[in-house]
Amino acid sequence: MNIIKYPTVSEYKKICERPHFDATQLNKVVCGILDDVRCRGDIAVREYCEKFDKACIEDLLVTNAEIEEAYDSVALELRDAIILAHKNIKEFHESQRFESKPVETAPGVVCWQKSVSIEKVGLYIPGGTAPLFSTVLMLATPAKIAGCKEIVLCTPPDREGKVNPAVLVAAKVAGVSKIFKIGGVQAIGAMAYGTESVPKVYKIFGPGNQYVMAAKQQVSLSDVAIDMPAGPSEVCVVADETSNAEFVAADLLSQAEHGVDSQVILICTSEDKVNEVQAEVARQLALLPRKEIAAKTLENSQFVLVEDTHAAMDLSNAYAPEHLIICTKDYNELAGMVVNAGSVFLGEYACESAGDYASGTNHTLPTHGYATTYSGVNLDSYNRKVTFQHLTEEGVRSIGRAVEVMAENEHLDAHRNAMTVRRVKVEGM
């Protein structure tokens, strides 16, 4: 990890840089796979499944029998944990329901909005070294609450052609409509274009590796919407002399074990605490099963010593972290200073893991600085707002002439005339 002491504001930009790489060749590979899936459908999907996942899949759709078998095979303690997490996620997202109120903007002019769910959504759940069954809950639960008619899930199979049982249990609990044994770029292509087996969806959600992220961005240009652009996962911890070094180190390492391209940042007002956390990170790292991954991540990570908590929050807002943990004595005050962050964790007991799994908030969040412009996944992510307006004769009298004048000055005579013919009728012009 790199230690930076008392940086100036002009140095913030360099501190906030994420690891980057040349994606030119990657994008070419992704484009080729997507084009192939678009043209050859299921045949191409099966070929890529065999090539990348080393699995020969005859029937891409997971059967009800497979789901029930998985449900029975998962340990009761894990099943109960999934059910508890689902309850909390459901409760939090149900609180986000939109209520529209008609507004009379002028006499005789009433406007309002209606929230309408996206009919078909696709969820991508990574497999690999850490099958993210928790992400199934995070994505499918709000989709179900929103009223999406079809919730399609794609996830890579293992070499025996089976899906991780916990993923299937989470999908059953959250109400997924269809589950397919498809991973990687081919899964994104299948959901974006549709195949003989996989229905085309209108919006794709979910994390993935660099290939999956590139695929999502490519299909979003003309074929389907996506939840957000994303990069590797990250956490920023803001600490002071009162912070618990053991907790802080654990939080940094919990993020560092995600992958070698992840990033962690500590911003602290106490040099003694920085040294204490550094020692604690080394101690805990040695005990981790995924210590090689976490150690590699720490190479891209920063420990930053700042003058005070105001400087800490200025740097945090410049960084715009996916996860922000504020574990200072004045965390409530600093919470009011948050401008850019995906999800915020306050106090010494609110670890990122709570939000990742069971507190109820969503863990699908903007990364790579996109927290400056994007929200994390929420109920609105699965809805569209349709606007309505109604004008009476009084409404024509209220705004009719203003509409005509504005249309005339934009040289759009047909626009002007659409209002003029109504004014003639109403006002007898």
- Residue 356 domain flag: yes
Whole-number pLDDT of residue 129: 63
Q: How many domains does the chain have?
A: 3
Q: Is 322 a catalytic residue?
A: yes
Task: Tell me, yes or no, whether 156 lies in a domain.
Answer: yes
* 226, 255, 290 - which closes a domain: 226
* Residue 421 placed within a domain: yes
Its domain, for residue 405, covers 392-427
The letter for the amino acid at 232 is P
C-alpha span between 341 and 90 (Å, rounded): 22
Residues 87 and 205 in one domain: yes
Considering the domain architecture, whether residues 268 and 152 belong to the same structural domain is answered as: no
Q: Which of 86, 93, 258, 323 is catalytic?
A: 323
Task: Indicate whether 406 and 343 sit together in one domain.
Answer: no
Q: Are residues 179 and 45 in the same domain?
A: yes
Same domain membership, residue 259 and residue 175:
no
Q: Is 323 a catalytic residue?
A: yes
Same domain, 246 and 191: no
Q: Which run of H or E residues covers position 181?
A: strand 178-181
Residues 221 and 281 in one domain: no
pLDDT of residue 1: 77
Q: Is residue 285 part of a domain?
A: yes
Give the pLDDT score at 39. Answer: 98
* Listed residue (122, 131, 206) closest to 169, CA to CA: 131
Same domain, 215 and 242: no
> The domain spanning residue 351 has which CATH number?
3.40.50.1980
Q: Which residue has the tokens 């190479």?
A: 299
Alpha-carbon span 335 to 325, nearest angstrom: 10
Distance separating alpha carbons of residues 320 and 335, to the nearest angstrom: 14
143 membership: H or E segment, kind and range? helix 133-146
Each of the 429 residues of the chain gets a pLDDT tens digit; together they read 789 999 999 999 999 998 777 789 999 999 999 999 999 999 999 999 999 999 999 999 999 999 999 999 999 999 999 999 999 999 999 999 999 999 999 999 999 999 999 999 999 999 866 689 999 999 999 999 999 999 999 999 999 999 999 999 999 999 999 999 999 999 999 999 999 999 999 999 999 888 999 999 999 999 999 999 877 889 999 999 999 999 999 999 999 998 888 899 999 999 999 999 999 999 999 999 989 999 998 988 899 999 999 999 999 999 999 999 999 999 999 999 999 999 999 999 999 999 999 999 999 999 999 999 999 999 999 999 999 999 999 999 999 999 999 999 999 999 999 999 999 999 986
User: Pick from 199, 226, 253: which residue ends a domain?
Assistant: 226
For residue 7, being part of any structural domain is answered with no
pLDDT value, residue 22: 79
Q: Is residue 277, in this structure, part of any structural domain at all?
A: yes
First-residue to last-residue Cα distance in the chain: 77
Name the DSSP class of 218.
H
Q: State whether 216 and 235 are in the same domain.
A: no
Are the C-beta atoms of residues 154 and 189 closer than 8 Å to each other? Answer: no
Instruction: Please indicate, yes or no, whether residues 187 and 256 belong to a single structural domain of this protein.
Output: no
d(CA 386, CA 77): 43
Burial class (CB in 10 A: 0-12, 13-18, 19+), 386: exposed
Instruction: From 242, 257, 243, 374, select the one nearest 321 (Cα to Cα).
Output: 374
Which phi and psi angles does 237 have, rounded to 5°? -115, 125
> Are residues 136 and 29 both part of a single domain?
yes
- The answer as to whether 121 is a domain residue is yes
Burial of residue 22, with CB atoms counted within 10 A of its CB: 0-12 exposed, 13-18 middle, 19 or more buried = exposed
Catalytic residue (choose from 322, 352, 363, 368):
322
What is the per-residue pLDDT for 128?
66
Identify any residues that bridge with 3 across adjacent strands, giving them in sequence order.
303
Look at residue 249 in the predicted model and tell me its pLDDT. 97
C-alpha dihedral, 64 to 69 to 75 to 81, nearest 10°: 0
Other Cβ atoms closer than 10 A to 353 = 16
H/E stretch holding 5 reads strand 2-5
CA count, 13 A, side-chain hemisphere, 427? 15
Q: Are 83 and 193 found together in one domain?
A: yes
Neighbours of 397 (CB within 10 A): 16
Residue 106 resides in a domain = no
Report how far Cα 121 is from the mean position of its chain's Cα atoms: 14
Last residue of a domain, one of 184, 210, 226: 226
